[in-house]
Structure 1
Amino acid sequence: MAEEAVTTLRAELGRFGRGEEGFALLEVFLEVGRPWLGPVVLDPVGLRLPDDMTDDRALVQGLIEEIEAEPVAKGLFRSTEREYDMADPQARWDYVRLAHCANLATVWGEGRRTTYFEVSGRVRATYWLPESLKVAYFDAIQAKGWAVPADWLTAVGKQPKPWWKRGS
């Protein structure tokens, strides 16, 4: 059985008219994508507000300060990764805003075999969406009164490489 084509969509905050548009699109994705999603995580070390954030700066800075005030786990095999529950609206709101403050934030598929969204280095943000999820996502964006970015509408999905060719 052939895998669905996957479309890559650039989603850095700076590409939108306002950073909040990028947050809104991520929030819609997290709502629509829930049946497809596995862990939704970020690395809370070194969180920093992006310049493109305007409306919620004080609230998000407060979240960052709360996280920084938490005791740091000690030990050889400690993980700093923090998981967010997408069924909880407050956790979803927090994740949407903190993801773009993080060095690494990822929305995984079941079993962590698929990445649907990732922020890296606070500056790069990307969606990788199979066609069925992309269609549902775009429909939800429009139903909520947002515009799907023009370059997203023209982006073409590509067939994933067979497992034995991946990594080459």
Structure 2
Amino acid sequence: MITRLQPIGLLIGRVVLGVVFIAHGWQKFNTNGMDATVQGFDSLGIPAPTLAAYFTVGAEIIGGAMLILGALLPLAGLALAGVMLGAMYFVHPLNGAFFSQEGGYEYVLLLAALSIAIGFSGGGALALDSLWLNNVGDKKESDEPARAGSMA
């Protein structure tokens, strides 16, 4: 029973996490504007604030979309976790506050962990990665008899 529901659970997790990241990336890109985002990163002491701002927005929007589609999940998971760990270091430092309402790192730590977990989950049967990998596996299996026959 659980194995039948796993793809649906992973789909829900991918979509919700992807929507959260897209919303945050879109807020930085459109609502605040990239100039304000760069200035904000600069005021936080983030090195190379222009590069960091564009990487962050790109990772959140593109990575969020990749999560939803289930495409290149390990890459998306690592990029998003990296952004969240950077936010944990620069924006929500380990200064004793854990809970997000106190300025702590609870939320970004959770997003980083979920990004890694979903990124390396395989995404489930309803992910593009799984569909593509299953097709690659099918092609290899169908090629094997032909190779065995040609060696005789």
Q: Is the structural similarity TM-score above 0.5?
A: no
TM-score, length of structure 1 as denominator length: 0.23
Query: Of Structure 1 and Structure 2, which has the larger fraction of its residues in helix?
Result: 2
Query: Of Structure 1 and Structure 2, which has the larger fraction of its residues in strand?
Result: 1
Q: Which has the higher contact order (CA 8 A, sep 6+)?
A: 1
